[in-house]
Amino acid sequence: MTVNVSDVVVKNAIGSEQRLGDLGGEVLLIVNVASRCGFTRQYAGLQALQDSYGPRGLKVLGFPCNDFGAQEPGSLSEIQQFCATTYGANFTLFDKVHAKGNKTAPYDLLTQVEPAGDVEWNFEKFLVGRDGTVLGRFKSAVEPDSAELSAAIEAALAA
């Protein structure tokens, strides 16, 4: 099933609605993040992706999520502070979401991407092409600097 997120509306860090299609022309890497998870160190790798591919059109979008082991209990400002001071991460963070159960945007649509089903843990990644079409889904264990993810990002940027 082809999934397009262009019309998905999410809440940004200041609580305003933002349509993902307004980021049109950018390749998006959508990640459900958490500050107290075994994968939290991936913040550094996500920032490295933003730094290296950002000038070519990649935007890393973090969606804090407390659905998995209650590993993201903080407020958005606490999360932003933690990311900046601990990992030097300044990629875009949005308001907290739900990625399983009673899912909220963008996960209500993203989880229809093959292999369809709920997000299984923190730091699952979805790669979205410049036209809003979801190109790939990468489980939590796929590191930001993995060859698999880098190749997919390179292909998306070249398309």
Residues serving a catalytic function are: 37
**pTM (two decimals):** 0.95
Indicate the average pLDDT of the chain.
94
Domain boundaries, the chain: 9-158
Tell which residue, 58, 3, 72, has the closest CA to residue 30.
Answer: 58
Give residue-wise pLDDT tens across range 73-91.
Answer: 999 999 999 999 999 999 9
Residue 24 pLDDT: 75
Residue 115 pLDDT: 83
Alpha-carbon distances of 4 from 11, 28, 69, rounded to whole Å: 18, 12, 29
Percentages (nearest 5) of helix, strand, coil residues in the chain: 30, 25, 45
The number of C-alpha atoms within 13 Å of 104 and in the hemisphere containing its C-beta is 14
Residue 140: both structure tokens together? 């939590």
Residue 113 pLDDT: 86
Q: Per-residue pLDDT averaged across 85-104, rounded?
A: 92
| Residue in the block written with tokens 């999360």 | 79
**Is the separation of the CB atoms in 111 and 103 below 8 Å?**
yes
CATH code of the region 9-158:
3.40.30.10
**Is the separation of the CB atoms in 4 and 131 below 8 Å?**
yes
Residue 134 pLDDT: 95
